[in-house]
Structure 1
Amino acid sequence: MALLLAPYNDAMRLGMGFNSFTQQLCVNDVVRLAGGKQETATDKSLRPQYQLGLMTAPDGSNVDISQNVTWTAKFVDKMSEVTNSLNVSGSLQVKLETGGAGVDVSASFLDGKKFKESDINYFIQVRVTNQHLTAPDLTDFAPIPNVPFSEFNRVYGDSFISGFIEGGEFNALISIKLNDSSQATRIRGDLAGSMGLDGIQVSAKASLDKEDVSSNIDGETTISVSWKGGGDIKDATVTDWTLDTLKHVAIEFPEHVMACPMRTYAILTKYTSLKNYENAGVYSSALLDAYMDYKVMWRDIQQVAWEVEKGQCTLTAKEVPPKLAELKAQAKEYYDKQMSEYQQKQQALQAALATSDPATDPNVTQPVPQQTPATVVPAQQALHDAPMPPNNLVPYDGDQFGLDQARRDCRFEMIKIVKEVDTVAVDPRVACDPSRTWQYLSPVVFRMLLPFEIRPVGARAFSIHHLASGLSLTTGNTVANGVDFTFGAFPTFFAFQDMKNGAAMIHIAETPEYTMAVWGVSMDNGGVVRGWSGPAKGENSQWYIKDFADHNI
């Protein structure tokens, strides 16, 4: 059975309660050493559990050291794939994105914006385990007096810290945003062949004489790196993070950890074997992915609002999808049901408080009237917040007012997701409640309501080929407020904006502020076609797209 782990931080101590869903620390010394003496555990209680192995020291000699090295190199499409590899809860990452985590976690080096914008994300991890340090005598649960059972998860969490893993961990994320998305398949192949760590032995050396893959990448490459253990893992020859130096450092990382290990993970033990916490972990990953989708849409709405204000694009309200009315009815029905249940619980709570008030009991002698203190509601009787209303599920107007409403609603859906994280943290059973729907609107449905299209470059864009030469239209030299078009083997992708009445505006898909326009029209020599980035987008940037056989003007 796989160990339940959480990223280590210096505030952790043996016997401390822990919430494995939010990965938040709880009370100290909730589990103590056996024997009935209420003795708290210290590092002296730890016992190493490992198997000896051989490692090669820098001087070439063999060293008896208990190292277990795991290499991972893979393409990732969702941020939750990275956080899962880091053993970081999706709910904690949501808190980190909102600035509410309160702690530094191992996934803090990730840039969510870069991740979502990139065409390729490649994750490298080297995990080195020197030994497991556990406290087998940590068995006696020491509850705090007068804590009600309803507050168990909030006070104690669902597990406790029973040991630590000592070693090191190296993580790197390579994010590539290509100028030409059609090259993504080739770059992925080159990257996998160059950076793949499959079959690498611990004693292997980096092959720096191979062709540098980064020189073949036409685009922006971002390398994010973090590590624990190993001390100074970069030698004097590594002055900057590149694809070659990254692989070089990753290969030698285990030997650095051999000389300078540190605690990387806390080992967690469940108070019980409840399966609903496993479901909560899966749910937290889904919440993280939905939150990141909304975060990207919120930024896109901001960008489109700026472009509309500058006259660089226009908006068109979406048509109402046939299923939208059915979804709207389901959302309203669920909200009305939740609100009714909430009001009933609120009334029952108020009635219970009224009957327990000495002022309403005729058998109790009433004291001299004084200032009435605020009513204290017992924790086990306190209500959760009222249900949050659903989205109206009506396509937004195609103007700045519609964009402003979409921006507010997008932020509102993000708040709902954060609130859902808090709710599951209090009661993990809601993660496997089949009737718990409509807590937030699916990002896929919300995207259908926006008065503009969010589309990736490539699959939904078009390239323009010249039949006689077989070459493609592509960008060349940059000029004032524009860019030249030329022909080449690698196409530039274009997106077509419907201007109604059969006209279209042709944008460079990667940089939509550039539209296809005509320069220096002459009856004798024709004109020059360029990409125009100036503020005016009039008839000179509009075209008729007609069938190849239709020569009528």
Structure 2
Amino acid sequence: MAYLLAPYNSAMRLGMGFNSFTQQLCINDAVKTMNNQTATEKNLRPQYKKGEMESSTSQVVTWSAKFVDRISEVTDSMNISGSLEIKCDAIGGGGGASAHFIDSNKFKESDLNYFIQVKVTNEQLVAHDVTEFCPIADVSAADFTRVYGDSFISGFTEGGEFNALVSIKLKDRSKAKEIGGQLKIELDLKAASVKGTAEGSKKDLESSYEGETTISVSWTGGGDIKDESVTDWTFATLKAVAMEFPEHVMACPMRTNAILTKYTSLKSFHEKTLKGSPLDYENAGVYSSALLDAYMDFKVMWRNIQMAAWEVEQGQSYLVAKPNLPELSEMATEAQKHYTAQTARYQKLLTGPTAESETSSQIVPVTPLEDGSTVTQKVVKVESRGLLEAPLPPNPLKPYPATIFGLDKARRDCRFEMIKIVKEVDAVAHDPKVAIDPSRTWQYLSPAIFRVLLPSVHNLDAEKRAAAASEEARLKEENLAKTNQAIQNELTETKRKLADTEANLAQGAGPAGPEDGRSRGS
């Protein structure tokens, strides 16, 4: 059975409860040693005994280099839960998430994104004797996962991890495939040596295309992995550092991941008389990644709407409304039916809870909207299923007006869709079955559909430049046509004169007359 891993942070302790879906720390000492003692570092490695200890260093190194189209591909490779990234971004700032080095805007706007990863494991430190589950009295069944999580920290991995993301935004997108092939060869980690120097790399590839290149790097372990010769990240230096990273980790390892163990794998857990059991998040990972990709799409659109509003206000751009497609009306009708059904279901649970579910309620505000207002709703705590919240209204699915007011409404609605995704993460955390429920639709609008509703933004300067370039091309074409016509006319005139000359010569070389014969005879 493969280990379940989570990125390490300094607050982690042996035996601590952990939620593998949200990657949040839970209660301390959820699991203790067999003699009911708090787990310590001594449980990870044996105490030093002079003359009886042997030391050997071995490494497990995993190299990975690939093109990525979605941010979730990067976070999955780094063992980061998509729900953690969404929650950390929603509360503002990185929140300690390990993927904070990625610029989501650069990622989404780039034509090529190439991800390089080197994982080095020096050793796995597992506390095999931490097996005694320690329940707390009066923890209700509904609060089990919130208090304990679904697993506990049973060990750590030590080594290092190097991550780099190369994002390229090309001026000519038609060359994306060609540049991508060159990039894959240039950064091939399977090669035995680095091709050329940093200067050579710039000449070979980085100067062979017009565009913007962003290189983002993050590493754990290895100490100072760059020597004094590396003053800037280039393709060649990036590859050289990645190739040498395992040697640096051997000299300076760090804890990179926590090893998680499910409570259900403990004999002591099944022997206890408990109210409730940990939730199973095995199938929630794929849904979490999809939520992260949608959230990042909305985040980029939200920023672009703000930029468009500023450009329109400054007179630099103008807007053109999108057409109201018939399919939008059909989708709006379907979404409203779903919202009505979900509201009725919520009201039924609110006013008449079932006999099997013990409920309580409270009034809480949701996240404030962009206009400063808040949506207050009642939250019902259903003991057997966690929190049940009132459904949020769907987008009316009508193209936004091509005005500054339309953009402002679009910006608020875009933010509201992001809030819906955050609340969907909470829903999965309280009930993992949400992730595999085929009838659970319209929780948030697809980013692709929302993009259809936004007015097109036309930059005046860009259009002027395009018009000027088009006019220049037209004039060049006209001048070329005139030049070709002049050459053609000159050629025609030359051919006519040549034909006249040949005709005159032909007449002058004709048969002699009688007078000419007499003159020659005399």
User: What TM-score does the superposition give when structure 2 sets the normalisation length?
Assistant: 0.76
Distance 1:94 1:354, change over 3 A: closer
Could you say which residue in structure 2 is the equivalent of 1:83?
75
CA deviations 1:8-32 (Å, max 9, x no partner) are 0000011111111111111111011
Deviation, structure 1 residue 101: 7.2
1:332 alignment partner, one of 331, 336, 340: 336
Deviation, structure 1 residue 322: 2.4
For 1:517, the aligned partner's letter is A
Two-structure CA RMSD over aligned residues (Å):
3.2
1:184 alignment partner, one of 176, 180, 196: 176
**More strand by proportion, 1 or 2?**
1
Report 1:263-282 matches (<5 A). Answer: 263-272=255-264, 276-282=280-286
1:516 alignment partner, one of 467, 471, 482: 467
Instruction: Tell me: higher relative CO, structure 1 or 2? Use CA pairs within 8 A at least 6 residues apart.
Output: 2
Could you say which residue in structure 2 is the equivalent of 1:27?
27
In structure 1, the gaps of 5 or more residues are: 49-62, 357-376, 454-496, 498-504, 530-553
CA–CA distance in structure 2, aligned partners of residues 424 and 399 of structure 1: 38
Distance 1:416 1:519, change over 3 A: closer
Deviation, structure 1 residue 205: 6.0
Matched residue of 2:152: which SS?
A: strand
Deviation, structure 1 residue 426: 2.0
CA–CA distance in structure 1, aligned partners of residues 443 and 12 of structure 2: 33
CA–CA distance in structure 2, aligned partners of residues 232 and 518 of structure 1: 50
2:397 alignment partner, one of 379, 393, 399: 393
2:57 alignment partner, one of 45, 55, 65: 65
* Contact 1:175–1:223 (8 Å) recurs in 2: yes
Could you say which residue in structure 2 is the equivalent of 1:131?
123
2:197 alignment partner, one of 208, 218, 233: 208
For 1:165, the aligned partner's letter is T
Report 1:533-544 matches (<5 A). Answer: none
1:298 alignment partner, one of 302, 310, 316: 302
Report 1:50-199 matches (<5 A). Answer: 64-100=56-92, 103-198=95-190
Could you say which residue in structure 1 is the equivalent of 2:325?
321
Q: Select between 398-407 and 265-274 the one with higher mean Cα deviation.
A: 265-274
Highest Rg: 1 or 2?
2
* Contact 1:165–1:264 (8 Å) recurs in 2: yes
* Contact 2:382–2:388 (8 Å) recurs in 1: no
CA deviations 1:412-448 (Å, max 9, x no partner) are 1011011111221222221112221111011111111
User: What TM-score does the superposition give when structure 1 sets the normalisation length?
Assistant: 0.72
Could you say which residue in structure 2 is the equivalent of 1:40?
38
CA deviations 1:129-164 (Å, max 9, x no partner) are 111110112221111111101111111111111111
CA deviations 1:262-310 (Å, max 9, x no partner) are 1100011122388951221111100000011111111222222233334
**More helix by proportion, 1 or 2?**
2
Matched residue of 2:214: which SS?
A: strand
1:402 alignment partner, one of 406, 428, 432: 406
Matched residue of 2:106: which SS?
A: helix
Could you say which residue in structure 1 is the equivalent of 2:218?
226
Could you say which residue in structure 2 is the equivalent of 1:437?
441
Could you say which residue in structure 2 is the equivalent of 1:420?
424
Matched residue of 1:290: which SS?
A: helix
CA deviations 1:162-215 (Å, max 9, x no partner) are 111110011111111122222212211111111111254xxx567428543222
1:348 alignment partner, one of 344, 349, 352: 352
* Contact 1:519–1:528 (8 Å) recurs in 2: no
In structure 2, the gaps of 5 or more residues are: 47-54, 266-277, 361-379, 478-522
Distance 1:442 1:43, change over 3 A: same
CA–CA distance in structure 2, aligned partners of residues 244 and 226 of structure 1: 17
Distance 1:43 1:318, change over 3 A: same
Q: Select between 220-229 and 306-315 the one with higher mean Cα deviation.
A: 306-315
Distance 1:355 1:421, change over 3 A: closer
* Contact 2:158–2:256 (8 Å) recurs in 1: yes
CA deviations 1:480-505 (Å, max 9, x no partner) are xxxxxxxxxxxxxxxxx7xxxxxxx9
For 2:197, the aligned partner's letter is L
Identity %: 61
* Contact 1:276–1:432 (8 Å) recurs in 2: no
For 1:208, the aligned partner's letter is T
For 1:32, the aligned partner's letter is K
Q: Select between 177-186 and 302-311 the one with higher mean Cα deviation.
A: 302-311
Matched residue of 1:384: which SS?
A: strand
Distance 1:520 1:214, change over 3 A: closer
Matched residue of 1:252: which SS?
A: helix
CA–CA distance in structure 2, aligned partners of residues 18 and 138 of structure 1: 15
Distance 1:378 1:317, change over 3 A: closer
